[in-house]
Chain A
């Protein structure tokens, strides 16, 4: 593996860029691994990376039914923020944000993390009150967040419409300056490269059909399209398909899978300096470095595995964008797509052990898993390596749905779900 540096760039530039080697081999499965991770998205590849780097466990395979980073890692709108209400969530997402800040250096791979700020618009008195509550709660938790008046919001993001006669006028905004975006594909690629360099096998186009358990109930391995793979430990990090896989191990999950859509416009010159979110009119927008406006929509109302969604949601989202940014109302949209997100009843993730010995799960990230990628991967690796949760993911158990100790971001999070 070539280490990227100014020198290696220069050397390859003068030799016509013919000297670059592959960044990770396309591995075939071995008969047995210490740990098998199902799902080669950012979360799964990241967990493999931290298992190898921080826990010295390198006999690891990451298995995916498609190509790596082809699921929700490659389908999200790349927003990164940590301004969640509850202490548990604030710790988890802020841990991720801490890791995001040094990730490009850590991986020697440019994930293009950009702290451009995430601004959440308040359109009514309820928004104003709940956002200010969030800001106070965040600041008590050491999480960056502050209040902007409508004029300050306009100064921060000039295309914003703050006219008082708008159907939903902007009454102010919450701004997390530490938040921003990153290049989603590069996150998967960077972790894949780092993990493969430490001996992790990345096995693509190999659907896991079932998780196999032994007579003692413990995990034995996984049945895949390429045959049975023995494993001492199995970690499921399979987003929308988690409940299908967990069913095969006899564990029923409090998850429902919904399509979540996004779309991008034709590329234009830089016009959006930050990320803007509005819960009330339901729109998320930022601009990629290529110049496309990246717009997030909501989940469809019905469960589905179709990886596409209904047009009514796109119409609703585009209407909301035109309301908040009339400047964009003649832009053409290039393409839209969907991903399948696994949603928990309290809209918080499930990250930890399961009733099955040797089986671990990282799921339930719903509509917001990308931002957690490094943090979730880091604590999942800790949980798998030590067979006990990291203090940060300890509250995110599966048992909370029995005990009632929910982390109810469904009602509280600074985002519409």
Chain B
């Protein structure tokens, strides 16, 4: 089972408390009526599906109930970091250097 750090509760808790919520930083088109079919396809259906460091959303469903973002290596399933919704993407190189 994954152990996930909730940045709001500041606690590391079992995966069973959390709900995965898909790729992070997927922005809804600002002007829907002028958005082309291809742009809608990209927004709705195309995901990076990275083999490696993946930016993703989680919700602390059985805790504070809030959404947050995480970076997880999809090969090892290890979390690099979690951060609050609305915060910018963290600098991965700095994070990895700090971890070593």
A residues sitting closer than 8 Å to B (CB atoms) are 241, 243-244, 252-257, 301-306, 310-312, 345, 401-404
Q: Is the interface of A mostly helix, strand, loop or mixed?
A: loop
8 CB contacts below 8 A, A to B, read A244-B49, A253-B46, A303-B74, A310-B1, A345-B45, A401-B44, A402-B37, A402-B40
Residues from chain A with Cβ under 8 Å of B15 in the complex:
310, 312
Residues from chain B with Cβ under 8 Å of A305 in the complex:
51, 74-75
Query: CB within 8 A of A402: which of B41, B51, B72?
Result: B41
Closest CB in chain B relative to A114 CB, distance in Å: 35
Cα-based distance from A306 to B75 in the complex (angstroms)? 5
Number of residue pairs spanning A and B whose beta carbons lie under 8 angstroms apart: 59
Is the pair B49, A303 in contact by a Cβ cutoff of 8 Å? Answer: yes
Cα-based distance from A404 to B41 in the complex (angstroms)? 9
**B26 CB within 8 Å of chain A:** no
Residues from chain A with Cβ under 8 Å of B16 in the complex:
312
B residues sitting closer than 8 Å to A (CB atoms) are 1-2, 15-16, 19-20, 37-38, 40-42, 44-47, 49, 51, 54, 56, 72, 74-77
Residues from chain B with Cβ under 8 Å of A241 in the complex:
51
Cα-based distance from A254 to B44 in the complex (angstroms)? 9
Closest CB in chain A relative to B22 CB, distance in Å: 8
Cα-based distance from A403 to B44 in the complex (angstroms)? 12
Is the pair B49, A253 in contact by a Cβ cutoff of 8 Å? Answer: yes
Given known A402-B41, A403-B37, contact A306–B51 (CB-CB < 8 A): no
Is the pair B49, A243 in contact by a Cβ cutoff of 8 Å? Answer: yes
6 shortest A-B CB distances, which residue pairs? A254-B45, A301-B20, A243-B49, A302-B20, A401-B45, A402-B41
Max count, chain A CB within 10 A of own CB: residue among B42, B44, B47, B75: B47
Max count, chain A CB within 10 A of own CB: residue among B19, B20, B49, B72: B49
Residues from chain A with Cβ under 8 Å of B45 in the complex:
254, 345, 401
